[in-house]
Amino acid sequence: MLTRPYVGVDWGTSRMRAMLIEAEGQAPDRDHVVYGDGIAKLDRPIADVLLSAIEPWTDKHGKLDIVMAGMVGSNIGWRETKYLDCPASLSDLTGEAERFEQCGHRMAILPGMKCTNPMGQPDLMRGEELQLLGWLSANPGASQSDRLFCLPGTHTKWCRVEGGRLDYFNTSLTGELFALLKEHSILVAKDDVIFAKPFEQAAFLKGVELILDQPSALLHSLFSTRTRKLVLGERAGDGPSYLSGLLIGSCVQNAFDLYGVPPAGVELVGDPSLCRKYAHAIERMGHSCRIFDGVDAVHAGFLAL
């Protein structure tokens, strides 16, 4: 039983998210969540960044235990932790944590996970396992059945969980590829980048539908982002939304080919606005899905720990 608050830190490559975890807090109080730069963006010592971010909490509560997950445990982070081999129970994370003390605070950095993915290649994750643990903790009645998870992001993860154990997963560079193609290729008109429009669902679904029609032709399909705009003009719709549809559509279609789709459909965990884009593609392909907010999942994961 949690008897006093502690700090949970989800620290990735591009963003840090710290939370004050309290026993009575079954949902994250947004006043108890602070954000900062990711590991790859820091220009001063990690300890200084962290202790500065949580100073209001330590002023109130004194020395606090701090548990960290994500790229903070990688070879570019604070202290490198091991990877647990899949299949593994997510409750095994605490047993392999790296423990140390900093400025009177007890620290622990959780390990990552590794597997051989459905393509027969090694795959790794750091941080997403905490969100999976949070979902399982928040949905105890469903946690023992066969579940397919999608955690959208810069490096989207697709995960197969059965009986509360992470069997295997694979990583798709969907978000990173979208950013690279939008910003550094000829596919998207510069005006569409400079004067970015809100997400346009109709254009997005045009991209998804092309991938459904030509599932193995992503590289050929990408160039249509440019040609549609040149030939059709405004009738082509929003270029970035169409490009997103191609990439997310391909990501979803390939995952279904690798994993199949369980009767329960797909569990989407992450930023709700990004999850909704994946939901449009999943539903267009005839399957069901549910969205679980990523901040809530991280909080539930830390509370479960």
Rounded to a whole number of angstroms, the distance between the first and last alpha carbons of the chain is: 10
HSE of 13 in the Cβ direction (CA atoms, 13 Å)?
10
- Mean pLDDT for 233-256 is 95
Cβ(118)–Cβ(259) under 8 Å?
Answer: yes
Separation of alpha carbons 162 and 143, rounded Å: 8
How would you classify residue 260: left for phi > 0, otherwise alpha for psi between -120 and 50, otherwise beta?
A: left
- Structural tokens at position 114: 């590794």
SS3 at position 281:
helix
pLDDT at site 195: 62
pTM of this structure: 0.93
210: pLDDT confidence band, cut at 50, 70 and 90?
Answer: very high
Helix axes 294-304, 128-138, angle to 10 degrees: 80
Separation of alpha carbons 282 and 265, rounded Å: 9
Residue written as token pair 């979803």? 252
- Mean pLDDT for 211-225 is 95
How would you classify residue 237: left for phi > 0, otherwise alpha for psi between -120 and 50, otherwise beta?
A: left
DSSP 65-116: -EEEEEGGGSTTSSS---EEESSEEGGGGGGG-EEEEETTEEEEE--EEEEE
What the chain holds in terms of domains, given with CATH numbers, is 6-172+292-304 (3.30.420.300), 174-260+271-285 (3.30.420.310)
Picking from 11-20, 113-122, 188-197, 251-260, which range would have the lowest pLDDT averaged per residue?
188-197
SS3 at position 298:
helix
SS3 at position 117:
coil
Q: Alpha helix locations (H) across the chain? A: 46-53, 55-61, 128-138, 174-184, 190-194, 201-213, 218-222, 224-232, 239-259, 272-284, 294-304
pLDDT at site 223: 96
Residue 87: asked if its preceding bond is cis (omega within 30°), the reply is yes
Tens digit of each residue's pLDDT (9 = 90 or more) over 272-287: 999 999 999 999 999 9
- Structural tokens at position 50: 């962290």
- Structural tokens at position 155: 């490096």
- Mean pLDDT for 129-144 is 88
- Structural tokens at position 221: 């399909």
Q: How far is CA 141 from CA 138, 144, 153, 164, 267, in A?
A: 9, 7, 27, 11, 14
How would you classify residue 136: left for phi > 0, otherwise alpha for psi between -120 and 50, otherwise beta?
A: alpha
Q: Kindly give the pairing relationship between strand 83-85 and strand 112-116.
A: parallel
- Mean pLDDT for 215-219 is 93
Rounded mean pLDDT of the chain? 92
Q: Is the pLDDT of residue 1 over 80?
A: no
Phi, psi of 137 (to 5 degrees): -65, -40
Picking from 29-38, 165-174, 262-271, which range would have the lowest pLDDT averaged per residue?
29-38
